[in-house]
Amino acid sequence: MLDDRHWMDMALAEAQAALAKGEIPIGCVIVKDGRVIGRGHNLREAQQSPILHAEVVAIADAAQHTGAWRLAGTTLYVTVEPCPMCAGAIVLARIPRVVFGVMDPKGGAGGTCFNILESPWTNHRVSVTSGIREDEARALIKGFFAERRHL
């Protein structure tokens, strides 16, 4: 069985794809039964859409791949803690587990600022694991914004 670090490496590759397109480098993969069923990275700038975050793109890809909107039995790997919109989409898709790399102190909804994923007020609770490949994910984000500040 492959471990969380392996799948997070795939999410980091998606983040690199976002970076190559000039997007904020956040990547995501969704895994079921030891294989990737959905993948995505930020496409907000490319598509001029505020909702095309990596998680939303990956959830749509997984739903299309499986033919079902309920993604039971999956794990979502994302390089940065989901925002409130993405956490809501994760709950609605019934994804049971989320693994993320780096916390988002300005808007994370996986326990940092909000805890939508484990909220007792929703109809689905998500198990959360954080800190997987944290240094690599942080370096991507910090590098991206440092570059933007110098433009």
Annotated binding site for Zn(2+): 53, 83, 86
Helix, coil or strand: residue 35: strand
Q: Is 55 assigned a catalytic role?
A: yes
* Burial grade of 63 (CB within 10 A; 0-12, 13-18, 19 or more): middle
84 C-beta neighbours (distance < 10 Å), count: 14
Q: Pick the catalytic residue from 14, 23, 45, 55.
A: 55
Helix, coil or strand: residue 77: strand
Query: Catalytic positions, please?
Result: 55
